[in-house]
Amino acid sequence: MKTKTYAGIPAELAKLEQAKIVLIPVPYDGTSTWQKGADKGPEAFLNASENMELYDIETNTEVYKQGVYLADAVTENSSPEAMVDAVHQTTKKYIKKNKFVTIFGGEHSISIGTIRAFNEMYSSLTVLQLDAHADLRKSYEGSTCNHACAVYEASQTTNLIQVGIRSMDAIEKTVMDKDKTYFAHDMAVDDNWMDSAIDQMTDNVFITIDLDVFDPSILPSTGTPEPGGLLWYETLDFLKQVFEEKNVVGFDIVELCPNAKDKSSDFLAAKLYYKMLSYKFQNEDAEDDYDNSFDSSNSNKNNNLKFVEDDDY
């Protein structure tokens, strides 16, 4: 039974009917290969969120007043495939309720389900992936729903843009679209990478953030930390521009692997989530109705085809 609201917000702002935002926790860690613990991510994130100031200085807003409904966690873990299916169905259910749907993992394999749902509900979807790892394997250790395969399906069915990549297997080069991949070592010496990535996006953008995209100096608590990652302000600068210029339809944040002795990563994740909501709703009056602009006719189309976009965008 759920006893708390997101960030301890008042109960009347946490009801599904009134809330514009839905948060779905997915405490899943079934396929991680090195450090376990991503199943504890949502709880650590929610605890940190409760201890965070809810006024955002930069946007001069209190986005929680738009209403945030904390959904029941998706706990299906009988198999990776069953988990992905449950995430897919739950995400879609709340998109259809005209909510801004956000998901907190769990390991990155949960995004196979979130992306599938958004791709069915929005046309010409761009998936913006911030991640240290390419995650483009078609299958890994006998499953297509392994964390190493997190965006393989997206690479085939959406306009996938990968940012911050600094670890991959050579086999992934056969799947990767190099023109839409921003390697960390290139970003470090290229002032233009943000504009270039935004120019490649369609209007509808879903963002998947693997927290290991951040440098381990600011986010050590993740399953596979990789040196040479993004820092805080450059990441916010990029995300803010994406929210301002595109229709961000939802996002997920994954791979928080909390450490009882160092809660700074939990706070970074909590603040990142709240910042993204603040950017999304900064020009929306809390009293105004919200329209998440999903396209119900789209769910009947076959979005399993390779993404093709002939128009300029």
Q: Which residues contact Mn ion by CB under 5 A? A: 108, 131, 133, 135, 210
- CA distance readout (Å), 50 to 13, 15, 78, 248, 258: 15, 17, 31, 25, 16
Calculate ∠ Cα 149-147-245, nearest 5°.
Answer: 75
Q: Is the distance from CB of 276 to CB of 239 less than 8 angstroms?
A: yes
- Smaller CB separation from Mn ion, 69 or 152: 152
- Smaller CB separation from Mn ion, 9 or 83: 83
Nearest distance in Å: CB 111, Mn ion? 8
CA 58 to chain centroid: 22
Nearest distance in Å: CB 134, Mn ion? 8
- Smaller CB separation from Mn ion, 40 or 133: 133
Nearest distance in Å: CB 127, Mn ion? 12
- Smaller CB separation from Mn ion, 64 or 152: 152
Residue ranges in 204-284 assigned as alpha helix (H)? 232-245, 264-281
Place of tokens 């297509």: 144
Token output for 164? 């911050």
- Smaller CB separation from Mn ion, 56 or 252: 252
Give the residues across from 23 on adjacent strands.
70, 102
- Radius of gyration in angstroms for the set of CA atoms belonging to the chain, rounded to a whole number: 18
SS3 content of the chain, % helix, strand, coil (to 5): 40, 20, 45
- Smaller CB separation from Mn ion, 74 or 112: 112
Nearest distance in Å: CB 76, Mn ion? 20
Nearest distance in Å: CB 135, Mn ion? 4
> Is the bond into 142 cis (omega within 30 degrees of 0)?
no
- Smaller CB separation from Mn ion, 108 or 271: 108
Nearest distance in Å: CB 150, Mn ion? 5
Nearest distance in Å: CB 256, Mn ion? 12
Closest CA to 21 of 269, 296, 251, 307: 251
Token output for 295? 């396209």
Query: Checking DSSP bridges between strand 204-210 and strand 247-254, what pairing results, if any?
Result: parallel
